[in-house]
Amino acid sequence: ASPSTDRETEPPCCDECASASRAVAKCLECQLHYCQIHSQAHPLSKSSDGHRVIELDNASTASCGPVVMPAQKYPLHPSHTLTSYCMQCEHILCKLCAEKGGHQQHQSSVHSLSEASTQKRSEVESLLVSTASDETALNQALEKVSTVVKSVHTDTERVSEEVVEFYNHIREAVNAREKQVLEE
């Protein structure tokens, strides 16, 4: 994807989305614009670890309008463009492969690129929501562990003090008994 140009009349689109989602953030290192989903995923990538992603002012989730992508040719059938996606095999297909190739048995799994993109986007959004809820649960669990660790430290200190006090009492008793024996 190429960086989007900043236009005064129209906010930028996400540089990663095929569906031209409105950009809500920008990476300060890459200078690329991202939609909500890609802005959350970008700093998590190994290649962009540590990148700073900032929110854009007046960002909207409305669509930016159609993006015309050049038709991609299929290497096995160069006269055919890629038009379909087999969800079962997770392959992009040309019309010939979808209808007569090894994907005939997968007809219920073969969708247009647009439909497959929408479905995959929905899956990614669900994963992001699930991850956010998992993150909340993990943070709550970490707080509980932290509380337990503090409690263990407090109890350890208390028990140590009790042992020292008990030992001091025993020492005093032994010293008193020793003194008594020596005086007899």
Neighbours of 106 (CB within 10 A): 16
Count Cβ atoms within 10 A of the Cβ of residue 113 and give its class: 0-12 exposed, 13-18 middle, 19 or more buried.
middle
Neighbours of 98 (CB within 10 A): 23
Give one word for 8, left, alpha or beta, with left for phi > 0 and alpha for psi -120 to 50.
alpha
pLDDT digits (tens, 9 = 90+) for 94-126: 777 777 777 666 677 788 888 888 888 888 888
Whether 85 contacts 40, CB under 8 Å:
no
In eight-state DSSP terms, residue 13 is B
Which residue from 88, 76, 87, 26 is spatially nearest to 51, judged by alpha carbons? 26
- Copy the structure tokens of residue 128: 């992001």
First to last CA, the chain: 98
Q: What's the chain's Rg over C-alpha atoms?
A: 32
Whether 159 contacts 167, CB under 8 Å:
no
Q: What is the pLDDT of residue 53?
A: 84
Number of helices (H), then strands (E), belonging to the chain: the values are 3, 7
Task: Name the stretches of the chain with pLDDT < 70.
Answer: 1-11, 18-19, 58-75, 103-106
